[in-house]
Amino acid sequence: MDLGPEKYNISTFIEACRNPEKFKYEIKERYGDVTKHVFYRKYGRPTNIMEADWDNLLILDACRFDYFSEYNSIEGDLNAAVSVASTSNEFMQKTFANGTFHDTVYVSANGFSHHLADDTFHEFVSTYPESQRDVLDSELYRNYHPEVVCDEAIDAHERNQDKRLLVHFMQPHGPYFGPKAEALRERLRANHGIEFSAWASDTDVTSRSSGMVYLLDAAERGYVSSDEIREVYVENLELVLDYVRRFLERVDGKTVVTADHGELLGEATNLYTRLTGNRYEHPGYVWVPELRIVPWLVVESGERRETVSERPAETDAVHEDVVEEHLQALGYTS
């Protein structure tokens, strides 16, 4: 690493005082360089999911191993795995961008999936079609609900029974569903006048441009406590696990349940969060257990399938504007 005087001197110190965000970014870069190798020695190297043995692989977005191990009741062989990434875009680039997987069908509610090449998988199924461009946001969020993802995955399997099936659920990642989440949003509306753009209509320009996308934003600004956010996170983890069970009832084979990365939920227990103050969400290229240790639950059910690799099927393209809108809806871009 370049730690010489030409890199860090009085000028860079003054610049850090003037631009704290740049300073935090520099800390993250340097912290990541050092801690990656320390992390490898302590926890092992990341798992390449596409080289693993499975018929179905279910990705729960932003799902931490510690919460999964506490709240999951699905029987199977549960272990901890190390993720290649701490955010979805990084995960997809490292996992899929340089390969082709024509024995695999990918069903996804994650907008970053659309950045992959068209011929990456035998078939790519998005939970939102071109026709979703002009719907209200309250309808748009229906596309992220695990019921929709589960139904699309079952349909995709019925069309492609000789393919591996990769399914990317959005939960427990926000924006959050469920009564606890809605009660928090309603409290913030009533007490602070906060409207969440994630749940506003296209015509509600004020709330859509307010910058408050979902409840983790409110937690970062001190409107919601860490304990409340954790309760909502668990609510959404339990929600998605209900649909994992539904999937397992309908689709046989060797199924792995894992995650693309974890989530910071208010912890200030590691050096990264203490130095940067970033205690929520999932910043990229950060090596802490809350972001990198994910579940690896293996469930065996019925017959294993024999898979074949075939040229990619034709899929309907989704306009780039739609992808950008969905990434904004998930709080990734502004």
**Each residue of 61-113: pLDDT tens digit?**
999 999 999 999 999 999 999 999 999 999 999 999 889 999 999 999 998 88
β-sheet bridge partners, residue 168: 59, 108
Check: CB of residue 163 under 8 Å from CB of residue 103: yes
**Model confidence at 235: pLDDT above 90:** yes
**Model confidence at 326: pLDDT above 80:** no
Residue 273: band (very low, low, confident or very high) from pLDDT cuts 50, 70, 90 = confident
CA distance readout (Å), 236 to 171, 175, 252: 6, 10, 25
Residue 327: band (very low, low, confident or very high) from pLDDT cuts 50, 70, 90 = low
139 CB neighbour count, 10 Å cutoff: 13
pLDDT reported for residue 169: 98
**Model confidence at 12: pLDDT above 90:** no
- Kindly list the structural domains of the chain, giving each domain's residue range(s) and its CATH number in brackets, ordered by start: 46-329 (3.40.720)
C-alpha 159/C-alpha 162 separation (Å) is: 9
Nearest residue to 95 (alpha-carbon basis) of 286, 261, 306: 261
Question: In the structure encoding, which two tokens stand for residue 78, read together?
Answer: 């549960």
**Model confidence at 2: pLDDT above 50:** no
Check: CB of residue 55 under 8 Å from CB of residue 305: yes
pLDDT reported for residue 114: 86
CA angle 179, 207, 175 (to 5 degrees): 35
Residue 1: band (very low, low, confident or very high) from pLDDT cuts 50, 70, 90 = very low
**Model confidence at 291: pLDDT above 90:** yes
Question: In the structure encoding, which two tokens stand for residue 229, read together?
Answer: 């956010």
pLDDT reported for residue 4: 41
What are the backbone angles phi and psi of residue 216, rounded to the nearest 5°?
-65, -30
**Model confidence at 134: pLDDT above 70:** no
217 CB neighbour count, 10 Å cutoff: 22
pLDDT reported for residue 3: 39
**Model confidence at 317: pLDDT above 80:** no
pLDDT reported for residue 105: 98
pLDDT reported for residue 313: 75
Most confident of 97-101, 135-139, 201-205, 312-316: 97-101
Lowest mean pLDDT among 132-141, 144-153, 185-194, 277-286: 132-141
**Model confidence at 247: pLDDT above 90:** yes
pLDDT reported for residue 214: 82
What are the backbone angles phi and psi of residue 294, rounded to the nearest 5°?
-125, 160
Across the range 44-49, mean pLDDT stands at 96
Nearest residue to 59 (alpha-carbon basis) of 49, 51, 69: 49
- Mean pLDDT score across all residues of the chain: 84
Residue 13: band (very low, low, confident or very high) from pLDDT cuts 50, 70, 90 = low
Residue 33: band (very low, low, confident or very high) from pLDDT cuts 50, 70, 90 = low
- Name 29's Cβ contacts closer than 8 Å, sequence gap at least 6: 285
Could you read off the pLDDT of 171-227 as tens digits, one per residue?
999 889 999 999 999 999 999 999 887 776 554 544 444 557 789 999 999 999 999
**Model confidence at 270: pLDDT above 80:** no
C-alpha 189/C-alpha 180 separation (Å) is: 14
Check: CB of residue 116 under 8 Å from CB of residue 92: yes
Residue 284: band (very low, low, confident or very high) from pLDDT cuts 50, 70, 90 = confident
Check: CB of residue 80 under 8 Å from CB of residue 293: yes
pLDDT reported for residue 262: 97
Residue 31: band (very low, low, confident or very high) from pLDDT cuts 50, 70, 90 = low
